[in-house]
Structure 1
Amino acid sequence: MTPLHTLYSNNKELLFSINFSILPVKKTSRATRKKKERKMALNLNPIAVKYSHKYPSIALPPKPTLKSPKFLTASTLSSGSTAKEIPDDYFVVLVGNMITEEALPTYQTMLNTGDGVRDETAASLTSWAEWIRGWTAEENRHGDLLNKYLYLCGRVDMRQIEKTIQYLIGSGMDPRTENSPYLGLIYTSFQERATFISHGNTARHAKKYGDSKLAQICGTIASDEKRHETAYTKIVEKHFEIDPDGTMLALADMMRKKIAMPAHLMYDGRDDNLFKHFSSVAQRLGVYTAKDYADILEFLVGRWTVEEITGLSSEGRKAQDYVCSLPQRIRRLEERSQGRAKEARLIDHSLELCKVEVERCKGTTIDIECASNSVPVLFREVESLKKPFSPPREVHVQVTHAMPPEKIEIFKNLDGWVEENILVHLKPVEKCWQPQDFLPDPASDGFHDQVMDLRERAKEIPDDYFVVLVGNMITEEALPTYQTMLNTGDGTRDETAASLTSWAVWTRAWTAEENRHGNLLNKYLYLCGRVDMRQIQKTIQYLIGSGMDPRTENSPYLGFIYTSFQERATFISHGNTARHAQEYGNLKLAQICGTIASDEKRHENAYTKIVEKLFEIDPDATMLALADMMRKKITMPAHLMYDGRDDNLFEHFSSVAQRLGVYTGKDYADILEFLVGRWKVKDITGLSSEGRKAQDFVCGLPQRIRRLALGRAKEARLKLFEIDPDGTVLALADMMRKKIAMPAHLMYDGCNDNLFKHFSSVAQRLGVYA
């Protein structure tokens, strides 16, 4: 593997230090690739690509000192050879668990509904906020791992699953914790133990079925859940110590309401009782049962020594009696629930499975682990890590909750307008694309050949492009952070994690649509074999743990200006990666990036429409907010990107994006100029003196940014001559020998093969460009 940590040319150090560990590949000609394709067409066994070629000019990382089992390898997932031995019911439960884990943005939102503990800025440095982000970052790995396993095993309908995930994130969850940390932390204590039990039981079943790798996967996730359970129960234990009466009443209240599972609103577009059916199968298999519910409550009652607490009010003592007697009452109901589970044996559910034929196991296996020579973190020695578990911090002095009540009321009064004018920019889930539409079908006979073709085509793409594509994917995968950021806005936040206000519906549905972007790019990069996935996954965990600091200060004015700018920036970035992929001849990757760009454009239209409405009803405040946001500068969502080694990782990623023309300083100025025009900022009248000053500042800013960008570009060119004069002169001469082709030299209108030549002739004749 090749870390682009230090890339050398002619023994002279060059300009970037990107830590994405691009795997070097031996480039093959198109003729060679066509030859291989013809062999595949003749049903000859394709040979696994051996990435033995090493660039002599690139420093390689040291080999790991410990050997350990890897989670997803060809030997364990060879055409679903072990997975096909497992009964369907088990996969129904495993799919349900995975869907639950994948709705992670919802759970971070739920934790952030708690008064006094929420992350007020999306990058708050309170210990509560750091815990929530760190917990989310760890939990994010669970859904990612189960998702990839289920995709590779070929036993399930991935498109249906992806659709169900989109519905679930859009629905949110309703645990009825009512913004109370007392209720919320009791809920999570119970819930973490429930998921520990569920994943532990799926591990036990997998081992019984002979799938040791799947048992390891589920067992490792269960281990995380147990650690998280310990933390949450410790918090509630502290609550009982300092406020026993309030905590006792909250525990009784939570148990009277019953603990709703996180995915209780699960829906797939067809089955209104999908969660009930999933739960029936889990009960029948013994993965999660009514007995487990009673056992968890009994465990928590003992853990918190509820029976021994004294000094309670009369209401507190009633609550204590109720809670202590509840486990036995639940157990008496268990026999009835078991009877219902037996009757439900023939219930038709819509978690569809793909039947695996024995013939699918024939043929040559390929290493679908894609270049990762690292081992699971549980087995790795921790040696001289710069920041073992602490992501980067960024502190800005922010004014929080500064909007007066009348401004908050503006946003509450806009709820009906949002329903009619903004929610229309969402697509119905049934009409949305899903990641599986673009990926090799693991249930098909040609899955191996499809993966091999994807890897062959990926070999044609230069390393720099993958640096940018990985950076874009990591940005998309930190989605829980962005939902949290949207929910910092006073007057627009989702107060319950399942609020029915139009603002909350938009935020959840937007998150559900965006969730597909990271999922798709993640799987493509995993399959292509060009990148170190473990390093990438670690970077994602750091980024989610860091949060983001756009400095929007709980103001929807600032927040929606930020998202308007940001959605256009991601539209441009994904659009340019699509263009580059097409130039490299990778039409599938171009389609993937272009499809994501199309979503970003639709979301941009929604956010810009909101700000347009704000200029209409409150022009002065909106103008001041726009100027304020631009003075602070629009920071990219992944500006706190870190991989455990490179403190300037985002800066280095941005440098490569600038050099490739994927996202540049010019784009920043163009976006601002576009928005100034879109919102007709120059034409707005009736402003205060401060508003007019803000207007002048904003309208003059694009040209100032362009002048700065030109200066930086000139400095960069001079820097190249300074660092490597010989190489830069040779490159300049080489470029001039090739001749500078105009950007539109491939211009074509469907009938004139020489259209650009004819256009150039006219330009020459007129003296426009000679």
Structure 2
Amino acid sequence: MITELEPVAAGLLARHVAAAREWFPHQYVPWSVSRDFDGPLGGEPWTEEQPALDPAARSALIVNLLTEDNLPGYHHALAVNSTREGAWGEWLNRWTAEEDRHASSIRGYLHATRAVDPIALERARMAQVSVGFEPSAGGFLSGVAYVALQELATRISHRNTGRFSGDALCERLMTRIAQDENLHMVFYREVLRAALEIAPDRVLVAVEENVRSFRMPGHAMPGFAQMAAQIAVAGVYDLRIHHDDVLVPLLRNLKIFDLAGLSPQGEQARDSLAAYLERLDARAGLFVERRAQALAARQRRGHADRMHAPAAPVAT
């Protein structure tokens, strides 16, 4: 499969290089607002009062950054499940270089704006990279299916993080990174499309397995569950977004539910995929409903607190 699809990879790599636009992380970091942190060279200590970003936006940026930081693990996983030779190797190196740029720019933004505790951030990076990365399932087709999903999810997460941040500089940076992620998603999606023409049943099995077991690659980072919950409650990335903006558009684009001539194994995988999407849609609807109820209750409590607050003294 790897050998048969190499001409496809070569064509997609050429298209990617033609579509990609050169950019530089240092031009997206607001260095003018930065100042030295305390350390051997002096400087000002970081304190909890310094960040101007909403806590959920900070959590989203930390998750995005620590996810990008684990790039060595992703590079290795893709390399052992494909090859470092020919067009595949050229693509892997190009993809790695572009992904590393994302981590550099996000870290620069967080440091310059003092949005996070730099010591805690570095300790989290060490812990995250020390864990490494192991895909939930091995093999070439499974790897491509996972990365196609992950790149689309990351693109949406980056864009939403920028919008939610309330900072025009952050939004500009995250929008630029999301453009890279979209091009990466297109490469892997089109590899999947070509593979469907060769071995549709095997591709469907790989897609179904990865859709059902999908977790973002940063799930092992310290505090991930708490930050992911905060991000979901804020509406940056939640089950509804995952269903509506990631899974459904990708599967529709690949015409998964229009394929004909599948074997019983392929049909079973597709039926399982449809059933999972239905269950996820119901879970997403329930989550959104409960979030709205919790927000309404919080607003009512806030209104009641204001109504019963003591009147301000009148100057005489």
TM-score, normalising length: structure 2 = 0.84
Q: Which residues in structure 2 correspond to 1:509-658 (within 5 Å)?
A: 509-553=94-138, 555-581=139-165, 584=166, 586-631=167-212, 633-642=213-222, 649-658=223-232
In the alignment, the residues of structure 1 paired with residue 241 and residue 128 of structure 2 have an alpha-carbon distance, to the nearest angstrom, of 24
1:680 paired residue number = 255
* Structure richer in helix, relative to its length: 2
Would the aligned equivalents of 2:34 and 2:111 in 1 still touch at CA under 8 Å?
no
Q: Does 1:664 align with 2:238?
A: yes
Would the aligned equivalents of 2:233 and 2:291 in 1 still touch at CA under 8 Å?
no
Amino acid at match of 1:575: R
CA shift digits 1:488-512 (9 cap, x unpaired): 31xx222xxxx4x111111111000
Q: CA deviation at 1:639?
A: 0.7
In the alignment, the residues of structure 1 paired with residue 3 and residue 90 of structure 2 have an alpha-carbon distance, to the nearest angstrom, of 14
Please, which runs of 5 or more residues in structure 1 have no aligned partner? 1-409, 442-446, 643-648, 735-770
2:277 paired residue number = 702
Q: 1:588 to 1:728 in 2, by over 3 A?
A: closer
Q: CA deviation at 1:440?
A: 4.7
Would the aligned equivalents of 2:195 and 2:203 in 1 still touch at CA under 8 Å?
yes
Would the aligned equivalents of 1:415 and 1:503 in 2 still touch at CA under 8 Å?
yes
Would the aligned equivalents of 1:550 and 1:634 in 2 still touch at CA under 8 Å?
no
Q: Which residues in structure 2 correspond to 1:320-359 (within 5 Å)?
A: none
Amino acid at match of 1:650: F
1:462 paired residue number = 54
- Is the radius of gyration larger for structure 1 or structure 2? 1
Would the aligned equivalents of 1:550 and 1:635 in 2 still touch at CA under 8 Å?
no
Amino acid at match of 1:579: R
Q: CA deviation at 1:714?
A: 4.5
Q: CA deviation at 1:462?
A: 2.0
In the alignment, the residues of structure 2 paired with residue 669 and residue 589 of structure 1 have an alpha-carbon distance, to the nearest angstrom, of 26
1:438 paired residue number = 28
**Which protein, 1 or 2, shows the higher relative CO under an 8 Å CA cutoff with sep ≥ 6?**
2
Q: CA deviation at 1:459?
A: 5.2
Amino acid at match of 2:227: F
Q: 1:629 to 1:464 in 2, by over 3 A?
A: closer
Amino acid at match of 1:515: D
SS at the partner of 2:286? helix
CA shift digits 1:283-339 (9 cap, x unpaired): xxxxxxxxxxxxxxxxxxxxxxxxxxxxxxxxxxxxxxxxxxxxxxxxxxxxxxxxx
Candidates 477, 489, 511, aligned match of 2:69 = 477
Amino acid at match of 1:556: F
RMSD between superposed Cα atoms in Å: 2.5
TM-score, normalising length: structure 1 = 0.36
2:42 paired residue number = none
Please, which runs of 5 or more residues in structure 2 have no aligned partner? 36-45, 306-316
Q: Which residues in structure 2 correspond to 1:285-364 (within 5 Å)?
A: none
Would the aligned equivalents of 1:543 and 1:640 in 2 still touch at CA under 8 Å?
yes
Would the aligned equivalents of 1:426 and 1:510 in 2 still touch at CA under 8 Å?
no
The number of aligned residues is 291
Q: CA deviation at 1:718?
A: 6.8
In the alignment, the residues of structure 2 paired with residue 716 and residue 667 of structure 1 have an alpha-carbon distance, to the nearest angstrom, of 14
SS at the partner of 1:422? helix
1:67 paired residue number = none
CA shift digits 1:503-541 (9 cap, x unpaired): 111111100011110000101111112311111111111
Amino acid at match of 1:437: Q
Would the aligned equivalents of 1:547 and 1:640 in 2 still touch at CA under 8 Å?
no
Would the aligned equivalents of 2:10 and 2:87 in 1 still touch at CA under 8 Å?
yes
Amino acid at match of 1:635: R
In the alignment, the residues of structure 1 paired with residue 152 and residue 64 of structure 2 have an alpha-carbon distance, to the nearest angstrom, of 14
In the alignment, the residues of structure 1 paired with residue 275 and residue 240 of structure 2 have an alpha-carbon distance, to the nearest angstrom, of 15
Would the aligned equivalents of 1:564 and 1:604 in 2 still touch at CA under 8 Å?
yes
CA shift digits 1:124-143 (9 cap, x unpaired): xxxxxxxxxxxxxxxxxxxx
Q: CA deviation at 1:461?
A: 2.6
